[in-house]
Amino acid sequence: MILRRIVEHMKQQQWTAVFIELAIVVLGVFIGMQVSNWNAERQAQDRRAKVTQALLTDLKDAANVQHDVIAIPIREGLSAWAAAFARGEQPPPFYLRVPGSDTAPDTWGMLQQEQLSELFDPITLFDLGFYYSELDGVGRKYIRYVTFVENTILPNLKADPSVFYTDDGKAIKPIYAASMDRLREFGLESEKFEQWADCLIYRIECVFYKIFNYPFEKWSINVSNKFDIAFN
């Protein structure tokens, strides 16, 4: 319809009308392209927000597990064992078995497919990759530890506790002492991973607040001294 009017105006040499009609066409095309671009950008931003939220959720869950499921039970369990041994008892070696699957899902591997370079600076990306790589390594060490527990400690729990001790009963056998030493190291590593995750959460929430106007008062962690945690 508009093109027909333009042709008619040109035949009648009504150049002002031709100009107005052309301007309407150009403006309509421009507005259509802008609306399309705005929709595409909004969809891309929604996707980036969902990716960031998924990463934050995973880091928060990991920090909670490191604290509540691993570090605290190990610290309390080893202390209780030491107290019982000091009283002259022969408690079985303390061990930890985390309920659930042996290995965590490959969250980082899945998130790497979501163009994270558009969201985070190279240093943050490197730190995230290093964190997940180290977490995976510790997970493999835990699997070796729990395999020892299931094959060596659990089968003897119903036997006389003396099976875990030297013949004179004054010391726990080296193999079980080493097992608890590894568990103690695992607990300390978990505390460091908890702090590491908190630091990454803080840095990512800074980006989230800057890009998506995420409310500052809804931040989930105490942000004080997080940079000290990151670099010490």
Q: What is the structure's pLDDT at 174?
A: 96
Mark 50-77 as b/e (b = at least 16 C-beta within 10 Å).
ebbeebbebbeebbebbbeebbebbeeb
Q: What is the structure's pLDDT at 24?
A: 64
Q: What is the structure's pLDDT at 216?
A: 43
Rg (CA), the chain: 31
Q: What is the structure's pLDDT at 80?
A: 97
Q: What is the structure's pLDDT at 9?
A: 46
Per-residue pLDDT tens, the chain, 232 aa: give them.
555 554 554 455 555 654 565 566 666 666 666 666 676 667 667 777 788 888 888 899 989 989 999 999 999 999 999 999 999 999 999 999 987 655 556 677 777 666 677 777 888 888 998 999 898 888 888 889 999 999 999 999 988 999 999 999 899 999 999 999 999 999 999 999 999 999 999 888 887 666 555 554 444 444 444 434 333 3
